[in-house]
Amino acid sequence: MSCETQLSIFHDRSNPLATTYELNSNASGKPVPGVLGLTYVRDAMEAPSRKLFNRSAASTLKILRLLTRSPASNTNGPGRLNVDGIQVLYGEDALEERLAPSPGSKADTVINYFSGMRVYHPNGYFTSQFLNCRSSNIKESDISPITSATAHQPIIIHSGVCLFSAKMIGFVPTKGSPVNGDYAIPSLPDASRASLYEIETITRLSSQIADLIAMVTAGARRKQDIQVRLDIPRLQYYAYPLELYERGIVDNAYVQEWMSRVNQRHSQILAIFQQAVVEGLAQRSAPANIQIESTNGTDVLSRYIQTEVASYRSPSVVQAMHVLQCHGPDQAKWRRFFSHIGEDHLPKDLRGLALLSYVYEVLRPGFDAGICHESHARPIILQVDDIAEWRIYDTADKLAKRIDAQARPMLIGMFPFHQVLTSEVNGRSSLFLHDPGHRVYNTVDPASLSPEYVHPVKVVEQTYGKPAGDMMNQLLVLHGLYGGESSAL
């Protein structure tokens, strides 16, 4: 990560040119050019809402104290945290995001604060990020000195990234509708290149995960095991092509080839994400003996669907739910999960079930039998994700309150701000929805008449620093997702 925080912004979808915008004192209080509702605020005095500014800093600190059990210089606003040589500056500045509310919302404007956090590691490695942190069931009493119980408190870091981009697959998995036209047949996705969305998201989230692990293992929990669970979708990408198959719009061969490419991409992105976390730990000289695994709660259903399609059948949502609850290692957990959902809110189709599985995977550690007994404290589940996935956290947070009190997890949402942005007329910037493509241009000077054509990973390097760019370049080449010539940048 570079010492100076900057954004890279694509202003025009027809001209994929990324310009840089430095977040410094000259930018404070001014809207970020081309990014709807985004403003950089260098301190609380300049914040449009000082209350929200300080609340965001306090929320970040509360989570850091829970994870590290380290004292802070200030618990009511910006300050410094020393975690056995790791210096953490929190809440000195922020990004303020103002968006129009969702349909049906009573709010006039949705306001989110992303509190600045700088982490200085003992080996000289430095990171800078802006975090939106959420937690509803953490009390001050939970942030007490380590005891015989909390010394064994499970910490599960949950993260993930979607596959491809809407442009690459021709539809939005959450909506199930194509980008253009009703029931249009999506082209089979390019299996040789990673999207800028995938590259940027893995870079940003793996860095945040590595920072957290370094802090936790350096603090009072240094002997504690930490588990990282990466939820890379697969089932979610089966649903829409299966809908087309049921309507006779595509043939069996198309669906099987589609699922094969999704499976391949799933494996590639999972491997890249896992190795990015490991590399991030090495960059920080942090312990690397961390368990990093893939979520597998829907694997039994994915295999079942593939078998059914190979036999020219398409399973119903009722059959799919039966498979989850009656087969595989997670069947008891799925039964408990559905019992908390309630019959009126059960999914009506396979797409709805696939989306609900995101929530299941976040909460899964809370359904582990015997995870909390007399010598253990409640598990901490930390969802490190893109802010676009806040609904997963929100739904999981509500359902967590229905879990048995003794096993109820402390659920935390930590959403690092995406520093590669697209200019939007309405709504939040989204590299997934508005992918600039594989042929992008890059310039530090917005007025430059001769921008440079670069691989998308170069935009990530410009934004997050050369170590991040080099790491992603190597991992993309290693796993066959660089595209074009496999040469170092």
What confidence score (pLDDT) does residue 163 get? 97
CB 345 within 8 A of CB 355: no
- The rounded mean pLDDT for the chain is 87
Cα gap 227→201, rounded to integer Å? 20
Percent of the chain with pLDDT over 90: 59
Nearest residue to 317 (alpha-carbon basis) of 186, 176, 178: 176
DSSP 127-192: EEEEEEEEESS--GGGS----TTGGG--EEEEE---SS-HHHHSEETTTTEESSSTT--PPPPPSS
pLDDT range class, residue 189, cuts 50, 70, 90: confident
Cβ atoms of residues 149 and 377 within 8 Å: yes
- As a whole number, mean pLDDT of residues 301-307 equals 97
CA dist 163 and 282 (Å) reads 26
The bridge status of strand 38-41 relative to strand 86-99 is: antiparallel
pLDDT band at 312 (very low <50, low <70, confident <90, very high): very high
pLDDT at 415: 98
Pairing of the two strands 126-135 and 155-159: unpaired
At residue 371, the pLDDT reads 45
Q: What is the model's pLDDT at position 484?
A: 52
**Cα–Cα separations (whole angstroms), residue 106 to 100, 103, 389, 465:** 11, 9, 21, 41
Decide if 156 contacts 215 (C-beta within 8 A). Answer: no
Query: Is residue 372 scored above 50 in pLDDT?
Result: no
Q: Per-residue confidence at 489, pLDDT binned at 50, 70, 90?
A: very low
Report how far residue 209's alpha carbon sits from residue 385's, in angstroms, rounded to the nearest whole number. 10
Higher per-residue pLDDT: 28 or 246: 246
Is the pLDDT reported for residue 102 higher than 90?
A: no
pLDDT for 330: 96
For the segment 349-371, what is each residue's pLDDT rounded down to a tens digit?
Answer: 999 999 999 999 999 988 774 44
Residue scoring higher pLDDT (145 or 21):
21
Q: Which pLDDT belongs to residue 378?
A: 78
- When pLDDT is cut at 50, 70 and 90, the band that residue 68 belongs to is confident
Q: Which stretches of 403-489 are DSSP H helices?
A: 456-464, 466-478
State both tokens at 125. 């490695």
More confident residue, 432 or 185: 432
Top-confidence residue, 99 or 489: 99
Residue 181: pLDDT over 90: no
Residue type, 258: W
Q: Which of 229, 256, 187, 194 is nearest to 382 (CA)?
A: 229
* Interatomic CA distance for residues 151 and 160, integer angstroms: 27
How would residue 375 be classed by pLDDT, with cut points 50, 70 and 90? Answer: very low
Q: For residue 263, give both structure tokens.
A: 């499976």
Residue 138: predicted pLDDT: 78
Q: What does 61-89 look like in DSSP terms, one character per residue?
A: HHHHHHHH---BS-SSSSEEEEETTEEEE
Residues 6+ away with beta carbon under 8 Å from 228: 156, 157, 159, 209, 213, 277, 290, 291, 292, 293
